[in-house]
Amino acid sequence: MANSQELTTLNNMNIGDKVRLVHGKEEGVIYAFLPGNVVEIEIEDGFRIPVLRNEIVTISPVEAHLMQKTPDGPKLAPQSEKVISRQAVFAEKGIYIAFISVNDRAVILHLINNTDWTLPFTVSKQMDQLQTGITAGVLLPRTSHKITELIMNDFETWPVFNFTMLYYRSGNFALRSPFERKMKCRAQTFYKSKKQAPVLNKEGFVFQLDDEEVFKKEGTKVKENLSDDLRNSLMGGADVAKIVLEKPEKIIDLHIGKITGDFSRLSNEEILKKQLGAFENGLELAIANGMEEITFIHGVGNGVLRDELHRRLSKNQHVQYFKDAQKEKFGYGATLVKFK
């Protein structure tokens, strides 16, 4: 049975962490988290094995440096010796960002490298189609870099962050394409991401940039004045589960007259943009509130809005199916969305 220190370590595991088996000699790095409390570990020579989380324990950087493997198992190396593993396991994944609180009104955005790669990087922000450089540098393995300070009262207007990195390691290695990731903070996922940040070992809002599933699409704003909730959550002053998002109506009319008052001066492109914004907002709110279904009235028209809604719905991982709704009332001018 794992002791209390091991249990604490289990709760703070991240992709890229170096670990060893509690009841074995194998060591490796965490490659992925699987269903059923199972962790996929990459061991020597690139082999990956599934292991229960309570069967592994993380290896601290100090311990990894002081311990070397022998045929009889780990052996403490003399302090004067340089420890070199002949077939050291290489952590390929584990690039994170973390928002760490500095006081009750601000957070600092950190870029974290929990891999064994050396990462030359650039970070920029995008606002109103304008790119602005923030910082650049080289992120060594198991290190972090402060990016910028953000005010929580301005959460709804935080920019889109763009991260670009190159992969480098000494010796021979297979060339990898540059890594690029764009991120816009979404309220309904941001406040649920509170955990201990790797490398920093501090609690904050943490996101893994090289997790493809998390960053398939950008989100939209879903609630005004979230800054108080986020501040309380960061400072430990409130339970994040108490945050309540506005629940949308079961039927949302996307006709432009229902969305905005005066639209006479809007171009067709601007009208479509507003309709899609209302659709995305309603869809995200429905998902966040755990609704079983929602109906969007989009009208028949030339079919552009309907086709775009169906295209986006077909790519949404939370949608079980969608179909034309209430044909006797709307014809083909409404779509019913059923969630998983």
Which of 234, 269, 293 is the endpoint of a domain? 234
One DSSP character per residue, 164-228 reads EE--B-SS-----PPEEEEE---HHHHTT-EEEETTTTEEEEEEETT-TTTTSS------S--HH
Pair 232, 242: CB distance under 8 Å:
no
| Phi, psi at 282, each rounded to 5° | -65, -40
Most confident option among 94-98, 242-246, 298-302: 94-98
Strand ranges inside the chain, DSSP E: 18-21, 27-34, 38-42, 48-52, 56-58, 67-70, 73-76, 95-101, 106-113, 119-127, 130-139, 143-151, 160-165, 179-183, 194-197, 202-208, 251-253, 293-297, 319-324, 334-339
pLDDT at 260 over 60: yes
SS3 10: helix
Q: Are 251 and 230 members of one domain?
A: no
Residue 82 maps to a domain: no
Q: How far apart are the first and last CA of the chain?
A: 37
166 and 201 co-located in one domain: yes
Question: Is residue 52 situated within a structural domain?
Answer: yes
Mean pLDDT of 29-33: 82
Residue 29's CATH number: 2.30.30.30
Q: How many CA atoms lie within 13 A of 255 on its CB side?
A: 11
C-alpha 286, offset from chain centre: 20
Specify the number of domains making up the chain: 3
- Residue 275: is its pLDDT beyond 60? yes
pLDDT exceeds 90 at position 325: no
Regarding whether 266 and 136 lie in a shared domain, the answer is no
Place of tokens 């540059």: 178
Residues 109 and 223 in one domain: yes
Instruction: Evaluate whether residue 313 is within a structural domain.
Output: yes
Closest CA to 197 of 160, 149, 238, 234: 234
Assess if residue 241 is contained within a domain: no
Phi, psi of 121 (to 5 degrees): -145, 160
Quote the pLDDT of residue 107: 92
Whether residues 199 and 327 share a domain: the answer is: no
Do 46 and 138 reside in the same domain of the chain? Answer: no
8-state DSSP, 279? H
Top pLDDT among 226 and 181 is at 181
Give the CB-side neighbour count of residue 19, counting CA atoms within 13 A. Answer: 32
Instruction: Tell which wins on pLDDT, 99 or 226.
Output: 99
Q: What is the pLDDT of residues 201-213, one digit of tens each?
A: 899 999 999 887 6
Residue 131 has pLDDT above 70, yes or no: yes
Do 100 and 187 lie in one domain? The reply is: yes
**Tens digit of pLDDT for each residue in 147-170?**
999 988 888 888 899 999 999 998
pLDDT digits (tens, 9 = 90+) for 133-145: 999 999 999 999 9
Q: Exposed, middle or buried by CB within 10 Å (0-12, 13-18, 19+), for 204?
A: buried
Average pLDDT, the chain: 78
We report the CATH number of the domain holding residue 304 as 3.30.1370.110
pLDDT band at 271 (very low <50, low <70, confident <90, very high): confident
With contact defined as beta carbons under 8 Å apart, do 130 and 149 qualify?
A: no
Does residue 100 sit in the same domain as residue 213? yes
* Claim to verify: residue 131 and residue 228 sit in the same structural domain: yes
**pLDDT for 221 beyond 50:** no
Q: Write down the pLDDT at residue 231.
A: 54
Specify if 83 maps to a domain.
no
